[in-house]
Structure 1
């Protein structure tokens, strides 16, 4: 262990997630307090050095603009809403330049998009907020995307957003100064269930739908895994050992819709994510979500969302909220 404080640089992007940023900083502050010495120092930077607004509307004044850093520094890119629009050429150039020095670089919440766009996650494992998962997977095929709460792969770190910053920082504190200090920080935060990189970010299917029926959960899991090439209800039913009629009754009883309707809603939700978060053509979005006919896709999309995919794509200035 080095006696020299570890220095963190928080790079704030417009509309960054306040929770992700604050959670990370608080872990460092509490670690210093509990240890009785400055184990960590930090500063806040933005592209221009001017004020940055978080997604909650509060404005933050950074310490400086993006500049030259020491190779011992750790950069954490803090992003949130419309990370695509906030990922500028100047930001990418800065991140790439600092990465060449050997700095550890991480992305909080949707910050993984910036790292991937800069090519810093090629061939590496990473994670991002589940709502951005579909768009990220389509755009960055060279990145092994997981659904973990956080991922550390070499000198690259990514989190899923929200309180996952706490889990990442607790791991870094434990790695640098021991489990006892990390646990003390968690206690101060009233954070009683520390997650690891093996934990997934979303609730399990039974918890999410409010139904604890093993076969129903199994079918829904299969649906979520097979969006591009949908499986027929008859095959789904057979795979879990029941008849198609039994499966229909199960969905009607617990979800008040048919298996076909539920599957369609899953596919259309993914389609909406791709339309709002990527530059994929409408036809490619349709194919990625199991629609072989653009006209059928458009008809189903309008029935679900009250607008066509083409018009939805026209509103991309307002990205999906995270």
Structure 2
């Protein structure tokens, strides 16, 4: 259970919330404590000389990266999903390539997947990306095989979609690198009810999101989510799930307090907003891909739903991101 000491380094981009890396640190520190031995020596680095302090006022101990790197068993790039990196320093990219050449695993937590992809080391590899960032990531890095799994390991490239998935990932690594029994003890210590496999999808099961287990409702919503670009009519949905139109409308009213057509419209608009804020696709392209026949039709429906036009919403988001950079960097 003891084994050799393993060095683990986390390189955090400016603006990263300390909570992004805390699940990983919790597992590693708990492993040392439960094994009553120093299995892991953890190092946290920043790209600047600013302390990592959350908005709530708590600070993560870290020291600036000087450009000189000691040999680590694992290197993790970490960034906040709300302040995604726009570049990777040449020295960091070089160090990542050296580690990969030497057979040392290189990983990314949450937004850290962006600089890792920028290094070119993910081309042709599978990785896990948080579902909110997935469209943007796929558009920017078409050579990378990005998925919405919880976490992914592919030929020395490690990736976690973030949040609770990072806890699952490091428990999985602990079981593989050290001892499944130790991983179980750490999971129990951290009050983890179930160890999730990396291949599990990130999104909450549909029936949980709907707050209902009604099979016809679930089938209808799955159909809607699968037909965003070319929406089905309410009659077509009812026919596919083998109920009458009136019965389908009663089910939606009872469980969602909505009618199928309105729920479907809001679903398409939510999808459009996600694309609008995460990708560089034109407003016309987004509207068409979400089932709207024209730009004015899309803009009108969007404004009625969100109280703002698509262009205004995108411009406000970009202005806020620019302000965040000024405030945090």
TM-score when scaled to structure 2?
0.87
In structure 2, how many angstroms separate the alpha carbons of the residues matched to 1:305 and 1:82? 21
Residue in 1 that maps onto 2:96: 99
In structure 1, how many angstroms separate the alpha carbons of the residues matched to 2:55 and 2:294? 37
Following superposition, the deviation at residue 221 of structure 1 comes to 1.8
Query: Any idea what the Cα deviations from partners look like across 1:253-308, whole Å, max 9, x if unmatched?
Result: 21121222112112211222222222222222223322231111111111111111
Residue in 2 that maps onto 1:280: 281
Is the Cα–Cα contact under 8 Å of residues 282 and 310 in structure 1 kept in the other structure?
A: yes
Residue in 1 that maps onto 2:256: 255
In structure 2, how many angstroms separate the alpha carbons of the residues matched to 1:126 and 1:55? 30
Residue in 2 that maps onto 1:29: 29
Q: Secondary structure at the residue paired with 2:230?
A: coil
Distance verdict in 2 for CA 1:36–1:213, change over 3 Å: same
Distance verdict in 2 for CA 1:222–1:300, change over 3 Å: same
Following superposition, the deviation at residue 62 of structure 1 comes to 2.2
For structure 1, which segment, 42-51 or 201-210, has the greater mean C-alpha deviation from structure 2 after superposition? 42-51
Q: Secondary structure at the residue paired with 1:212?
A: coil
Is the Cα–Cα contact under 8 Å of residues 149 and 201 in structure 2 kept in the other structure?
A: yes
Following superposition, the deviation at residue 205 of structure 1 comes to 0.7
TM-score when scaled to structure 1?
0.88
Equivalent residues in 2 for 1:164-203 (5 A)? 164-203=165-204
Q: Secondary structure at the residue paired with 1:202?
A: coil
- Which ranges in structure 2 are unaligned for 5 or more consecutive residues? 325-329
Q: Secondary structure at the residue paired with 2:133?
A: helix
Q: Secondary structure at the residue paired with 2:320?
A: coil
Following superposition, the deviation at residue 2 of structure 1 comes to 9.8
For structure 1, which segment, 267-276 or 226-235, has the greater mean C-alpha deviation from structure 2 after superposition? 226-235
In structure 2, how many angstroms separate the alpha carbons of the residues matched to 1:188 and 1:182? 10
Equivalent residues in 2 for 1:110-259 (5 A)? 110-259=111-260
Distance verdict in 2 for CA 1:167–1:304, change over 3 Å: same
In structure 1, how many angstroms separate the alpha carbons of the residues matched to 2:194 and 2:213? 23
In structure 1, how many angstroms separate the alpha carbons of the residues matched to 2:309 and 2:222? 28
Following superposition, the deviation at residue 212 of structure 1 comes to 1.0
In structure 2, how many angstroms separate the alpha carbons of the residues matched to 1:285 and 1:292? 11
Following superposition, the deviation at residue 59 of structure 1 comes to 4.3
Query: Any idea what the Cα deviations from partners look like across 1:124-153, whole Å, max 9, x if unmatched?
Result: 222222322333344333333333221222
Q: In the alignment, is residue 65 of structure 1 matched against residue 62 of structure 2?
A: no
Give the CA RMSD over aligned residues: 2.5
Q: Secondary structure at the residue paired with 2:188?
A: helix
In structure 1, how many angstroms separate the alpha carbons of the residues matched to 2:15 and 2:56? 8
In structure 2, how many angstroms separate the alpha carbons of the residues matched to 1:118 and 1:157? 14
Query: Any idea what the Cα deviations from partners look like across 1:64-86, whole Å, max 9, x if unmatched?
Result: 226343564312222224333x3
Q: Secondary structure at the residue paired with 2:14?
A: coil
In structure 1, how many angstroms separate the alpha carbons of the residues matched to 2:116 and 2:307? 35
- Which ranges in structure 1 are unaligned for 5 or more consecutive residues? none
Query: Any idea what the Cα deviations from partners look like across 1:191-225, whole Å, max 9, x if unmatched?
Result: 12111113222221111110111121122122223
In structure 2, how many angstroms separate the alpha carbons of the residues matched to 1:204 and 1:263? 18
Following superposition, the deviation at residue 31 of structure 1 comes to 0.9
Q: Secondary structure at the residue paired with 1:130?
A: coil
In structure 2, how many angstroms separate the alpha carbons of the residues matched to 1:278 and 1:199? 25
Residue in 2 that maps onto 1:317: 319
Distance verdict in 2 for CA 1:81–1:149, change over 3 Å: closer
